[in-house]
Amino acid sequence: MTSPQQDPGTPEIQDAAAPDTQDAPAAPPASSEEAEAIRTAYDFEGARIHLGAMLDGDEPDPNVPVNLAVSMLNRHGLIAGATGTGKTRTLQVIAEQAAHAGAAVFVADMKGDLSGIAVPGTASDKLTARAVARGQEWVSRAAPTEFFTLGGQGEGVPIRTTVSDFGPVLMAKVLELNPTQESSLGLIFHYADSQGLALLDLEDLRALIKFLTSDEGKDELKGIGGISSATAGVILRSLTAFEASGADVFFGEPAFDTQQLLRTTDGAGMISCLELPGVASRPALFSTFMMWMLAELYQELPEVGDAEVPKLVFFFDEAHLLFKDASKAFLDQVVQTVRLIRSKGVGIFFITQTPKDIPGDVLAQLGNRVQHALRAFTPDDAKALKATAKTFPTSEHDLEEVIPALGTGEAIVTVMSEDGAPTPVAITAVRAPESSMEPAGEQVIKESAAASPLMKEYGQVVDNESAYEILQQRAEKDAAAQDAADAEKDAGAKGGGSDAEAAPKKSSSRKKDEGLLGNPAVKSFLRSAGTVLGREISRSLFGTRKRR
């Protein structure tokens, strides 16, 4: 029985199986031939991550370790299982060992229970005994950790990006646009890029949409398809709702340099832990921001091939959120990213409940699999279980029977061997993390962030001049020039005794939107802005900005 403060999903402190599995049959005893086959298959020559020990019946065999080659981390992976079966602790086990092996690590702490990776674990006789049973020489140690937050919501170094850098495909995902609206948004970004208009925040994007659907700007996009007022209205309404949810703080400057995720210290990789409790109500934003990071990394990193130690291991928690209601364009780019980023020295682990949460083209790229228990309470559950079993290599075990029988902290495992072939399925008792399984606490996170050298660079929002301000200033300048011309014309007419009517005088004190949208001079300025502000922005994966 666990104490109220203990995590029932942690294998190290669980006395018995979870209540819904306590009557489940134990894993079938392993034959000597099977044990030897597992020992040989998982005995890699290079650096390795110890996942645990093979289960022989209901007890782990410490003489048959189950490992994952560090050099194969860039072949990507999947950690799956029902809630409370130990996925988070498996993630922690792999992440901390990857960091100690020299690979930088990125993890997203959606529920707030991964921050303990920055704190040494607490020793106990019980923990030591469990570790010994898994062939683990347990030591209490933390991993070097940097804490981040999205847009500064909470403690940690803020991560922000500009609207221009985020790109139209990802923006369409977070705004929940349909394909037609997504296509129109792409035209708007193309126009801003071609005119050298920097879209730094959501205000810039809104102002440009209003201009392009106004009388002065509506002809600007006709040559490349144009957008209807109805479509623009939908985008603007979605943008307003998105802002109202508090998401506007994620866009702006200074934009985060994803190269900061690749840092090492004293031979160990830095774990970048993104604290996300503040965005739990905006899952689409969370998952899409993770994909932006990967797209940025892909564009910035050079080709390295298969390195002995990857540059970065990226854990994508709650992966099903990424693919929910995703457009075809978005899914195509996810597949392309997963396929190609491996050669940049980056490995991606998706964490979700069942493999069916991952599209087939992505799932096919995930060579390292750790599957915790699944329950089959409904016909749909039974289908998911059957499909899950079929994603593993052929085994002498009936995986449809084994998977639901697994206890908390137990899993079936197959990984990529060093020669690129999948290892045989190993029923595994997962080892214990060496860092704390309890949350680090707000004070630890706060002190860590305050001491970070990155806080000086990213801690404060910078309000640089962007599309809105540039257009506004030009509109006001032209309005003032028009006022002066009207006044001169009026004075000349009166001096000459002419009956000509003076043109109505325009006010130079305009409201924010009126100054931008109401002046015809904006149109000519937009045409020339590209020569003033720079060349057209080029885009790559997901339409994210490709830096020169």
Q: What is the pLDDT of residues 8-21, one digit of tens each?
A: 333 333 333 333 43
Helix, strand, or coil (residue 331): helix
Question: Mean pLDDT across the stretch 495-518?
Answer: 45
Closest CA to 177 of 223, 252, 218, 232: 232
More confident residue, 320 or 279: 320
CA–CA distances in Å: residue 7 to residues 12, 110, 350: 10, 15, 21
Question: Mean pLDDT across the stretch 185-202?
Answer: 90
CA separation for the pair 160, 173 (Å, rounded): 17
Which range of 13-27, 366-380, 488-502 scores highest in mean pLDDT? It is 366-380
Q: Is the predicted pLDDT of residue 496 greater than 60, yes or no? A: no
Question: What tokens appear for 362 in the block?
Answer: 């992505």
Predicted local confidence at residue 484, as pLDDT: 81
Predicted local confidence at residue 467, as pLDDT: 67
More confident residue, 112 or 460: 460
Q: Please tell me whether the peptide bond between 424 and the residue prior to it is cis, using omega within 30 degrees of 0.
A: no
- Percentage, residues of the chain above pLDDT 90: 57
Reported confidence tier of residue 507, pLDDT bands at 50, 70, 90 = very low
CA separation for the pair 408, 372 (Å, rounded): 8
Q: For the purposes of burial, counting CB atoms within 10 Å of the CB of 304, is it exposed (0-12), middle (13-18) or buried (19 or more)?
A: middle
φ, ψ of residue 269 to 5 degrees: the values are -75, 145
DSSP strand pairing (410-414 vs 426-430): antiparallel
Q: What is the pLDDT of residues 43-74, one digit of tens each?
A: 999 999 999 999 998 899 999 999 999 999 99
More confident residue, 531 or 320: 320
Reported confidence tier of residue 526, pLDDT bands at 50, 70, 90 = very low
Predicted local confidence at residue 6, as pLDDT: 39
Q: Fill in the DSSP letter of residue 253.
A: B
Mean pLDDT of the chain: 84
Predicted local confidence at residue 548, as pLDDT: 55
Closest CA to 156 of 168, 147, 167: 147
* Residue showing tokens 């396929």: 339
Q: Fill in the DSSP letter of residue 124.
A: -
Closest CA to 159 of 458, 453, 448: 458
Q: Is the predicted pLDDT of residue 301 greater than 70, yes or no? A: yes
Predicted local confidence at residue 13, as pLDDT: 36
- Beta bridge partner(s), residue 56: 59
Considering the entire predicted model, what is its pTM?
0.83
Question: What tokens appear for 109 in the block?
Answer: 């702490």
Predicted local confidence at residue 303, as pLDDT: 93
CB atoms within 10 A of CB 533: 15
Question: What tokens appear for 439 in the block?
Answer: 């949350």
Q: Is the predicted pLDDT of residue 514 greater than 60, yes or no? A: no
Q: Is the predicted pLDDT of residue 268 greater than 60, yes or no? A: yes
Domains annotated for the chain, with CATH where assigned, are 37-160+253-458 (3.40.50.300), 163-251+465-546 (no CATH)
CA separation for the pair 277, 485 (Å, rounded): 57
CA separation for the pair 261, 148 (Å, rounded): 10
Reported confidence tier of residue 499, pLDDT bands at 50, 70, 90 = very low
Q: Please, are residues 81 and 374 in contact by the beta-carbon 8 Å criterion?
A: yes
Q: Is the predicted pLDDT of residue 3 greater than 90, yes or no? A: no
CB atoms within 10 A of CB 223: 7
Question: Mean pLDDT across the stretch 71-96?
Answer: 96
Q: Fill in the DSSP letter of residue 223.
A: G
Q: Is the predicted pLDDT of residue 413 greater than 50, yes or no? A: yes
Predicted local confidence at residue 471, as pLDDT: 63
Q: Please tell me whether the peptide bond between 277 and the residue prior to it is cis, using omega within 30 degrees of 0.
A: no
- Residue 148: enclosing H or E segment and its boundaries? strand 145-150
Question: Who contacts 79 (Cβ-Cβ below 8 Å, separation ≥6)?
Answer: 87, 90, 91, 94, 349, 350, 351, 370, 372
Question: What tokens appear for 34 in the block?
Answer: 């099977």
Q: Please, are residues 311 and 342 in contact by the beta-carbon 8 Å criterion?
A: no
CA separation for the pair 194, 526 (Å, rounded): 10
Question: Mean pLDDT across the stretch 130-145?
Answer: 95
* Amino acid of residue 420: G
Q: Is the predicted pLDDT of residue 267 greater than 70, yes or no? A: yes
Question: Mean pLDDT across the stretch 284-299?
Answer: 88
Reported confidence tier of residue 320, pLDDT bands at 50, 70, 90 = confident
Question: What tokens appear for 250 in the block?
Answer: 């994620």
Question: What tokens appear for 484 in the block?
Answer: 């002066």
CA separation for the pair 233, 138 (Å, rounded): 59
Question: In 245-327, which ranges are continuous DSSP H helix?
Answer: 283-300, 320-323
Predicted local confidence at residue 9, as pLDDT: 39
Predicted local confidence at residue 231, as pLDDT: 94
Reported confidence tier of residue 501, pLDDT bands at 50, 70, 90 = very low
CB atoms within 10 A of CB 400: 15
Assign 3-class secondary structure to 359-382.
Answer: CHHHHCCCCEEEECCCCCCCHHHH
